[in-house]
Every structure is written in C-alpha cells, then in structure tokens.
Structure 1
Amino acid sequence: MKKEILQSLRDIEKEYGVKVLYACESGSRAWGFPSKDSDYDVRFFYMHHPDVYLSIDPVGVGKKRDVIERPIHDLLDVSGWDLTKALKLFRKSNPPLLEWLSSDIVYEETYSTAEQMRGLARKIFSPASCIHHYVSIAANNYRDIDGKQEVKMKKYLYALRSLLAATWIVERQEIPPLSFHTLLAEMAPGDDLTEAIQLLLKRKIAGDERNKGANIPIIDHFLETELEQLRRYAAELHHHTDDPTEQLNQLFRSTLHEVWSH
C-alpha cells in the first residue's frame, strides 16, 4: 500500500502545485488496533509556491483553501493541511497534529519542517487544551455506547484510548504516546479491567470495522467513572504557555526557503 500512498501524494503535488512536507499514518493503524479492513488514514501537511502566500488574500480565505482532501478510495483516506493552517493549530497545541508528528508510520518526511516542529512541541504543549480534547472525544464515543445492548467494538477502543491519553497528561504533564498498547501498559487500570480491554482489543483486530458485540459492564463503569473525574479536573485547569508565534513565523519562512530556493 505504501507505493499507492506515495503515488497519491505525487498526484496531489502535481494537481495543486504544492510540495508535501510530511505524511504519516493516523487513526487506528497508528494507535495499534487496526481491523482487517481499516482505512489507511494518511495525513500530511504541505506548502504552496511563495507567490500564493505573497498575495492580498491569505491562504484559507475564500477560494484559497488551506485543506486538501481526497475521497476515500480502496481503503485509502488521504487529507492534509497547508503549513500555515498546521502551524496555527500547532500554536494551539492541537492534539491530532501532535499525534501526526509522533506517528511511528511515516510515509514521507522530505524536509526538516516536521523535525523542527517536534523540537518545539514541548514548548507549545498545553495540558489543558489536550485534556479537554481527549475528554471530549472519549465522551462522544461513550455516548454511542451508553445504554446500548449492542455496540461497535471500535467505539470502546476510541473512548478508552482518549481517556487513557487524558489520564497520562494528568499524571505526567506531557504529550501522551500514540500507541494504545503503551497507554494501557503504563496506565493499567487494574487486572480484571485490563484483561477485559485486552480481550476487546483482540476481537477488534481479528474482526472488521463493523464488528459489534454486547456491551461490557466493567468497561462501561470505568469509562463513566473516569470521565466524570476528568471533567471535574479539566474544568479547574488553566495553563499558560509563552506565545510561540514568532518562532513559528521563522519556521514557516525557513521552510519556504528550503522548499523553493532550488
């Protein structure tokens, strides 16, 4: 599949006149629990030619979109952000972007931009912002589980991963790992519960994306209890980070030079 992914990136570069700076796997494959028919969730950021930025209408305004999305085809889901959009979200400690930068499945990293961003990640990391994000994701997925007699197995794992990521931040005040297996091992919630989650994990990997099963009371109780505690914690949490805008401006300019100077 990597050959098809790289060809899709080359097609995007040609069609839109951009350069792909970084491309990786996101979602269940990056988290470590893909089903047999899971999509390849390819995420990337890119840069236009300097002339696009040196104009009176900035990228992201009107017809100058700052997102490129391809229709899902043959399990291939490809979408990306213009670097200006990526850096604005990076400035806000955007969790999906932080996850992209820590993905173990990197399809392309042609330029130094991603590595420079990794070097700044600790500086811009906001525990408050990320906890709110992960609690929201966990709650939305648990809402699809709560009270149902039959549920999609992936909904449990999406909720659990987000909840464990939030718990990691609460306990360690650092960016959580992408791997669900690492989160589960380090944030082990108890033998019986861990055993139930491990069984759920095996069922998800062995099945398909539509695989359903009966609800799991021990996991339901854990999600409900922990979500309530995390909501209370997040409501009182405030975190200040120094404004990194000028550093990100410099990163953008250096990337512009690196990509288009030759």
Structure 2
Amino acid sequence: MNRIEDRLASLELKHNVKILYACEAGSRAYGLATESSDFDIRFIYIAPLKDYLSLRKKKDTISQQDDMYDIQGWDLKKALLLAGKSNPSLYEWMLSPIVYRELDVAMLPLNDIILKDYSRKVLAFHYANMAKNNLHAWSKKNVASHLVHAVRASLMLEQVIHNDEFATIEFQHLIKNSNTFTNEESSLLFCLKTGEEVTDIPLISQLFAKVSNFITASEELMVHLEEGKVKLSVLEELFFQQLGIEGE
C-alpha cells in the first residue's frame, strides 16, 4: 500500500494536482487476480483553478504504466461530465473494495449520484455488449480470460437488471447473489483464470451457452430500464465547490 501511496503522491507533485479519490480496478478489485496480475490503479484529480480558466487546452488524463502498475487518472471535470452520461467505469470505481484514497468529503455526493441516480439502461447495454464481445472472442481464440470476462459482465448485467439495492463488483459476491450462475461454474472460471487443467469440457460448453441465452433473455428487459436522473446542475455545483467558486 505504501508503494502505491508513494506513486500517487509523486504524480500529484509531478502534475501539480490533488487526487480526490483513488482505487483499484480490474482483476484485483473483482477478486479474480492471479500471481501475475498487475495493479490497475484509477483516480480522480483536480488541477489548479488557472488550468480550467486557461485559453490553452489542458490534458484531462494522467497515465503511468510499467510491468506491475497500470495507473490512470481522470480530471474532475472529465469525470463529472462522464458521470452525467452514466459512465460504467466510474460506477465500478465507486464500488471498488480496494480504496487507496478515500473520496474527498466534499465529493461524497458524487458517490450517491453514481450508485443511485445512474441510468440502469446505459449500464445494462454496456455489460450486455461486453459479454457479447467476449463470447465472440472466446469462440474465435479460445482464450480463458474472454470466457471469464463474459461471465463477469453477465453477472453485472444481472445485478443491474434485477437488484435495486445491493451493488458490488466482487465476483464471489456476484455469484452468491446470482439466480443464473452457480458456485460450480465459479470454480471452473477460477481454474481457467489460473491456468489449471480443466477436464470437464462439457461444463465449459454449457457455460458458454448459458451466457449466450442469458444475454438474449435480458435484452427484452433492458429496453424498459430507467434512463437515469443525473442532473448536470448538481454535478456542476460539485465542480464549483471543489474550485472554491461560490454558486449563484
């Protein structure tokens, strides 16, 4: 943890920004990491006021990558604009069980906006497309990670459609709350993810078919989901508060 905090602090100094929130994304946050998994660190930052007033266009992302760490941050303005569009990445960041920098107190309303006011329809279509794309990739390349991601996306889709209260990105919790996928299938996916030999080939075929059928069945429900109620005025007020600008 100290190494990650040191990296975050270094980025703040290098780019003259303040990190408002930082978390783990990807396999470690999902509970699907292996010994070779890297760290996928994501954060939201705010730049000095003059950067937002400058006539010159400023970068709105910060990235740093090596063999062990994949670090990416979004400027607050970019993050808020994407929140207004119910961006799925922000949704998962707020649900991450591994937090390196707790959300700035003044930004706590953003957590509620993302987890309560997001468009379930946008999220559902995102996860349905992710599942479809990974199923297609699995059928073409037979790479284990594609089937794992297809099932994970399907579990997220199931959660978005059918669960109004409990939300998580942790794979084991998703399986536990699923009415579609089983612990046996979860164990199979962990074997595939870690490269263990899988002898139950029929179960893999059944799992592929189950994901495909689940997506098809879900498509009829997705079109009736809520559009969301994120208000740009509320996001803008959060932005002004962080910049120290008083509202009207």
What is the TM-score when the length of structure 2 is the normalising length?
A: 0.88
What is the match of residue 228 of structure 2? 241
The answer to whether residue 60 in structure 2 is matched with residue 66 in structure 1 is: yes
CA distance in 2, matches of 1:104, 1:53: 32
Written as runs of structure 1 = structure 2, the 5 A alignment for 1:55-94 is 55-57=54-56, 61=57, 64-71=58-65, 73-94=66-87
Alpha-carbon RMSD: 2.5
TM-aligned CA deviation for residue 174 of structure 1: 5.4
TM-aligned CA deviation for residue 45 of structure 1: 0.7
- Equivalent of 1:251 in 238, 243, 246: 238
Question: SS in structure 1 opposite 2:45?
Answer: strand
Indicate how the Cα distance of structure 1 residues 18 and 88 shifts in structure 2: closer, same or farther if over 3 A, else same. Answer: same
CA contact 2:21–2:102 (8 Å) conserved in 1: yes
CA distance in 1, matches of 2:116, 2:178: 24
TM-aligned CA deviation for residue 124 of structure 1: 2.6
Indicate how the Cα distance of structure 1 residues 166 and 118 shifts in structure 2: closer, same or farther if over 3 A, else same. Answer: same
What is the match of residue 154 of structure 2? 163
What is the TM-score when the length of structure 1 is the normalising length?
A: 0.83
- Equivalent of 2:217 in 229, 233, 256: 229
What is the match of residue 117 of structure 2? 124
State how many pairs are aligned: 243
What is the match of residue 197 of structure 1? 186
Indicate how the Cα distance of structure 1 residues 113 and 142 shifts in structure 2: closer, same or farther if over 3 A, else same. Answer: farther
- Flag structure 1 segments of 5+ consecutive residues without an equivalent: none
CA distance in 1, matches of 2:244, 2:198: 51
CA distance in 1, matches of 2:227, 2:103: 33
Question: SS in structure 2 opposite 1:68?
Answer: strand
CA distance in 2, matches of 1:197, 1:240: 31
Q: In structure 1, what residue type is equivalent to 2:70?
A: D
Written as runs of structure 1 = structure 2, the 5 A alignment for 1:212-227 is 216-227=204-215
* Greater mean deviation of Cα atoms: 168-177 or 78-87: 168-177
What is the match of residue 108 of structure 1? 101
Indicate how the Cα distance of structure 1 residues 102 and 237 shifts in structure 2: closer, same or farther if over 3 A, else same. Answer: same
Written as runs of structure 1 = structure 2, the 5 A alignment for 1:169-188 is 169-173=160-164, 176-188=167-179
TM-aligned CA deviation for residue 238 of structure 1: 5.5
Q: In structure 2, what residue type is equivalent to 1:37?
A: S
Deviations 1:193-212 (A, max 9, x none): 541332322452x449xx99
CA contact 2:25–2:96 (8 Å) conserved in 1: yes
